[in-house]
Structure formats: structure tokens, C-alpha cells
């Protein structure tokens, strides 16, 4: 949808006299671009700046997210890693402590989702944190909705399937 001149805000004479290089049929807004292309380049630049900052400050960013999302302080997190020897509580696989969530062997903080329903459904109070898991085990528990009965049925199914 192309906005009318009155909806775009006031354009000066210079902007009105130039045609943009990206879409010649549209009005020029800035840097030789129409409004939508100019906004897209600004968003791409902001996203690239954020990625660059996050890579440079990964330790600080991860500590902040753990504190905000799960209520786990850096001291508590380091103690949990030490107690678990950097391994997943379920499969005992060594986890990559530096990996960003979503990567193979990335560390995930497991918590009871039924405990903190009032905090946006995503944040934890910190009291219900159960431990550190690898991504596969964390997704597995999530797929079974943290229901021990369903997990026991899955175990029975796997054992029964091997016997036949």
C-alpha cells in the first residue's frame, strides 16, 4: 500500500523534486530511497548493530537474560554448573556453556512452568528452577508438557517396543 503525500508527513521541496533510485515511481524520502526501502535499511542496520554488540558482550548478555528470565544470579548459575560438572542432568552429555540457545549442546535452564503462570508465561520466579539441561532433553520435557505420567507411558512404550 502506497501512502498518500498527506499521510507520509511533510516533505520538503528537495524530497519532492527527486525520484528515488529503488522505485522510480515512488516519492523520494531519504538517501535516494523511498520510505519502505529506507525503513528496511535502517532496521537491517539496527539488527546488525545488535548482533555485533551481542557477540562482543555475550557473557554480560547471557547473565542478564538468565537473571531476568529465570531469576538465576551469575553466582547461582556458576554453582549449578559446578555441581553438575557441566553435564546435562538427564542424558549426562557435556554441554557447551558458551553456545547461544538453539545451538547443539547449548545449555538450557529447566524450570517448572506450572509454578510461574503469572509472569508472562515465559519468566520464572527463580524458586522453581530444577537444573541445567541440554537442548534435546529440555525440548523433550517440553514436548511431554512436564507430565510424569505421560513420560512413564513413553518409557513403557519404548520398553514394550524393544521386547516385541
**Which tens digit of pLDDT belongs to each residue from 36-72?**
888 888 888 888 888 898 889 888 888 888 898 888 9
List, in order of start, the domains of the chain with CATH numbers. Answer: 14-54 (no CATH), 58-163 (3.40.1800.10)
Location of C-alpha cell 510461574: 116
pLDDT for 88 equals 93
Cell numbers that stand for 84 in this block: 553438575
CA distances from 100 to 9, 105, 145, 162 (A): 41, 10, 23, 36
Predicted structure pTM score: 0.63
**Which tens digit of pLDDT belongs to each residue from 20-35?**
777 777 777 777 788 8
What secondary structure does DSSP assign to 73-125, as a single string? Answer: -HHHHHHHHHHHTTB-TTT-PBPBTTSPTTSTTBEEEEE-TTT-TTTTTT---
Whole-angstrom distance, CA of residue 57 vs CA of residue 133: 23
Amino acid at each position: 500500500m502506497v501512502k498518500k503525500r498527506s499521510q507520509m508527513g511533510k516533505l520538503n521541496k528537495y524530497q519532492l523534486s527527486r525520484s528515488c533510485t529503488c522505485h522510480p515511481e515512488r516519492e523520494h524520502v531519504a538517501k535516494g530511497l523511498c520510505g519502505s526501502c529506507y525503513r528496511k535499511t535502517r532496521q537491517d542496520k539496527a539488527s546488525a548493530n545488535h548482533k555485533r554488540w551481542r557477540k562482543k558482550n555475550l557473557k554480560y548478555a547471557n547473565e542478564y537474560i538468565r537473571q531476568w528470565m529465570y531469576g538465576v544470579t551469575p553466582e547461582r548459575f556458576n554453582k549449578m554448573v559446578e555441581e553438575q560438572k557441566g553435564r546435562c542432568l538427564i542424558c549426562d552429555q557435556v554441554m557447551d556453556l558458551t553456545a547461544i540457545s538453539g545451538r547443539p549442546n547449548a545449555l538450557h535452564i529447566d524450570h517448572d512452568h506450572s509454578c510461574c503462570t503469572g509472569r508472562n508465561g515465559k519468566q520464572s520466579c527463580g524458586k522453581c528452577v530444577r537444573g541445567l539441561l541440554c537442548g534435546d532433553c529440555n525440548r523433550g520435557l517440553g514436548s511431554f508438557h512436564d507430565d510424569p505420567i505421560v513420560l512413564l507411558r513413553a518409557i513403557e512404550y519404548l520398553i514394550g517396543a524393544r521386547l516385541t
